[in-house]
Each structure stands twice: as structure tokens, then as C-alpha cells.
Amino acid sequence: MGRSTEAKDAVAARLKVDLSGQVAIVTGASQGIGRAIAETLAANGATVALVARNASKIAAVAAAIRAAGGAAEEFSCDVSKADSVAAVVDSTVAKFGRVDILVNNAGVTRDTLLPRMSDEEWDEVIATNLRGPFLFMRAVSRPMMQQRYGRIINVASVVGQIGNPGQANYSASKAGLIGMTRTVAKELAGRKVTVNAVAPGFIASEMTAALGPLVLEEVKKRVPAKRIGEPWEVAEAVLFLAAPSSAYVTAQVLTVDGGMIG
């Protein structure tokens, strides 16, 4: 069965940006939003360094990007480990001579109410969702400042803005990421490096699918748009912030949630 007219129109109306000659690093690129971001950047001309823990999954994403005519390299990496992060950035710069775009998308959840939350459940989420972006931003800041150009986009969440029961660790990590985004943006603005965040709401993914159809129907009732967002809609927001023309947009949070917290 072919795609609906509405779906075809959405594809035809996609944002187009010339990223030819630019190099992007995307963490958590093996699936979901991260994969959509990586494929969108590649489709607009960027060479994409794909970062994730699962080597086989990112190899499949890299193969798909190359099959579509794009350029990609894959790196298996634990984003919470400083040495691993530095190795990814150093290898990217050594091979391609520069890094222009960083998208910190890697994230995990370990949901439970605060009285039952273990130290390990807190630490793991903070390590991946907050320490990881810190390590990558620190690592790319020098080459970006030296070339006097850079775009850093951190994938936060509406949960970091409004909270959510059972996600004290996750909401803290995303709220911290928003605060770090705004601070680092002020530190790097004078070197023509922008730092922004995208805060998705409920987006179609393995995580939301696990909620089940009944819960998803209730979620849709809470969203003014009356639907779940698509990964490519977050990717389009990232693409806008990654564009050379977005040079005067920095220290901002672009919320992609169908009006849920507007």
C-alpha cells in the first residue's frame, strides 16, 4: 500500500539546508530520534559520525545513509566515559579536518518513584543524559572555537521543563541539560559557536510504543495536536538549528510537543 497524500506532502515540504562540506557528530544515532537526525543531516549534505553503544545497529544506520548517497562513519562509544568521547572527537577531526555540528541525543530512562529509586538508577541516567553531553561539548569546543564556527544542539525533553512523576532522574538530567545549554551558549557565542536545545514531547519511538495503545490514546488527548509526534519532526528542528543561517539563534530551547506545554 502506498503512502497517503498527507504523508507524501509532508516529505515534499521538508526543510532543505546546504550542509555540504560540514561534519556532524550525532550521539544515540542507532535508532529513533537519533537515527532520524543523522539521516536528515546526511540527506542535507553533512558527513555524519554516528555514535552509539550498539555497534551492529549503528553499522546498519551507516549502511542506510551510504545507500541513500550520504556519507557516514560509525563509532561505538559509551558517552559517559571521557576517554571514549575524546577518542571519537579526535578521530573525527583527524579524518575529516573539522567538526561543525554536534547533536547530543543519547539518553536513557530508569523510571520509578523517588522513594524506590536506587543510587544506580539515578547515577546511570545522570551519567548518560548529562555527563555525556558535557563531555562531548567540552571535546568539540576547542576545534569549533579554533575554526570560529560551530553548531551544538542538545536533545532535552519537555520533562525537563515541567517534570513527570516517576522520572526524577530523567527530568533532573534534562533540566540540567537545558541549564548547561544556556550557560555554554554564552561562553562560546563570541567564537561564533551556537548552543541550543530541542525539547521533544511524546514522539513515536520504541519507548512510547511500550506504553501500549490504551495509554497512547490518553496521551493524545493531552496533546492539543491530538497525535504523537514523528522522529523526523524533531530532526527538522535540529536541522534548523544546525543551519549556517541560524547564527543569531543561541541559548534557546525549541519545544517540539504539539502544544502540550505551550
| Residue 127 belongs to some domain of the structure | yes
Residues 6+ apart with CB under 8 A from 82: 135
pLDDT, mean of residues 152-158: 98
- What is the domain extent for residue 167? 19-203+230-256
Cα atoms in the Cβ-side hemisphere of radius 13 Å centred on 10: 11
Question: pLDDT by residue (tens digit) across 119-138?
Answer: 999 999 999 999 999 999 99
| Residue 169 belongs to some domain of the structure | yes
Gap between the Cα atoms of 177 and 189, Å rounded: 18
Name the one residue in this structure whose C-alpha cell is 551544538.
152
Domain count for the chain, please give it. Answer: 1
| Residue 239 belongs to some domain of the structure | yes
| 222 phi/psi in degrees, rounded to 5 | -80, -15
Lowest mean pLDDT among 11-20, 86-95, 102-111, 145-154: 11-20
| Residue 98 belongs to some domain of the structure | yes
pTM of the model: 0.94
Active site residues: 170
| Residue 104 belongs to some domain of the structure | yes
| Residue 23 belongs to some domain of the structure | yes
Please give the pLDDT value at position 74: 97
| Residue 217 belongs to some domain of the structure | no
- 50 burial (CB, 10 Å; 0-12 / 13-18 / 19+) is buried
Please give the pLDDT value at position 215: 85
Angle at 135 between CA 133 and CA 136, to 5 degrees: 65
Please give the pLDDT value at position 159: 95
| Residue 188 belongs to some domain of the structure | yes
Report the percent of the chain where pLDDT is more than 90: 88
Q: Could you tell me if 82 and 106 are in contact, meaning their C-beta atoms sit under 8 angstroms apart?
A: no
3-state secondary structure of 137: helix
pLDDT, mean of residues 26-49: 97
pLDDT, mean of residues 144-169: 97
CATH code of the domain containing 102 = 3.40.50.720
Flag whether pLDDT at 114 surpasses 60. yes
Which CB contacts under 8 angstroms, 24+ apart, belong to 105-108? 105/26, 105/27, 105/28, 105/29, 105/33, 105/34, 105/37, 105/155, 106/27, 106/28, 106/34, 106/51, 106/52, 106/79, 106/132, 107/28, 107/155, 107/170, 107/173
